[in-house]
């Protein structure tokens, strides 16, 4: 089915994706329930109607992602590059990769993060962690798509993290999705949108070990393709104090979310430490 999706023109796939998203929202399927739960917690200042509308828009973007990702994996580069409509913060990105300290691209689950990795890995050598999907055929497809543009994929274990540090020491680049829910051993609580959230410590540790720099990156969905955004992250991310660094990391994620809240992956169960009495199934 995903291979079939990959043959649709981008505009057709997005149209079908919006229809799929409306259906997910109307049937109140699990992605919609989780998204509404997270949106309600993070945007309590909005009216109920506004939060429902944000959830609906998010489901439409989720549907578009379902059609976009196979297209991106199938076409790869230079097709992705041709679909970059504009780039905000290009000078910041160029300055970062020209610095021999190495660069950590912090890429939240916003818009289409695959596009960021494929585009950026053409510009400089990139080493990234890779957690294979359960479907073997899908793993081969995704892996080949990422590697064809020059990315080096390493496993999500101690050896993989060591490979990231070595790449940064060489003045190269790595891309990390900062808003995944880490295991207890790899995360600490830090504020995100006003909620104490388990936050990965990997970026903090890499910055301390390598002396690299960090910038935020995202690819937002626009008509005909995507707009890339590269933005500064607070200097507090380089703090020796772990709590200060993690708070700065999450503030950077918040700033990226604010660019287009409906394109953020609210259906990801980020807030898993749910207080007693609350449920995403309500």
Reading the chain (282 residues) residue by residue, the pLDDT tens digits are: 888 888 999 999 999 999 999 999 999 999 999 999 999 999 999 999 999 999 999 999 999 999 999 999 889 888 999 999 999 999 999 999 999 999 999 999 999 999 999 999 999 999 998 877 777 777 777 777 777 777 888 888 899 999 999 999 999 999 999 998 898 889 999 999 999 999 999 999 999 999 999 999 999 999 999 999 999 999 999 999 999 999 999 999 999 999 999 999 999 988 876 543 454 444
What residue spans of the chain are helical by DSSP H?
Answer: 2-5, 10-26, 30-42, 48-75, 79-82, 90-97, 113-123, 136-147, 158-169, 202-210, 242-259
Say what the pTM is.
0.92
- Measure the CA–CA gap between 67 and 9, rounded to whole angstroms: 10
Comparing CA positions, the residue from 191, 74, 192, 202 lying closest to residue 142 is 74
Domain ranges across the chain: 2-263
């Amino acid at each position: 089915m995903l291979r079939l999706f990959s043959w649709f023109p981008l505009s057709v796939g997005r149209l079908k994706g919006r229809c799929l998203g409306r259906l997910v929202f109307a049937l109140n399927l699990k992605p919609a329930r989780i998204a509404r739960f997270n949106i309600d917690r993070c945007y309590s200042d909005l009216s109920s109607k506004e939060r429902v509308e944000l959830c609906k828009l998010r489901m439409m973007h989720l549907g578009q992602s379902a059609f976009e990702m196979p297209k991106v994996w199938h076409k790869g580069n230079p097709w992705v590059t041709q679909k970059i409509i504009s780039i905000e913060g290009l000078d910041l990105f160029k300055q970062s990769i020209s610095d021999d300290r190495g660069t950590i691209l912090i890429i939240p689950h916003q818009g289409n993060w695959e596009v960021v990795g494929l585009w950026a890995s053409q510009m400089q050598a990139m080493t990234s962690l890779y957690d294979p999907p359960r479907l073997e055929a899908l793993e081969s497809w995704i892996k080949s798509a990422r590697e064809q543009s020059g990315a080096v994929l390493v496993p999500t274990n101690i050896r993989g993290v060591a490979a990231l540090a070595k790449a940064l020491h060489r003045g190269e680049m790595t891309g990390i999705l900062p808003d995944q829910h880490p295991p207890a051993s790899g995360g600490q609580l830090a504020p995100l949108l006003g909620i104490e959230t388990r936050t990965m410590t990997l970026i903090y540790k890499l910055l301390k070990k390598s002396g690299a720099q960090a910038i935020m990156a995202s690819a937002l969905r626009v008509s005909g393709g995507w707009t890339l955004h590269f933005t500064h992250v607070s200097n507090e991310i380089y703090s020796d104090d772990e709590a200060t660094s993690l708070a700065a990391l999450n503030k950077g994620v918040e700033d990226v979310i604010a660019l287009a809240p409906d394109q953020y992956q609210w259906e990801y169960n980020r807030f898993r430490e749910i207080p007693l009495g609350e449920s995403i199934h309500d």
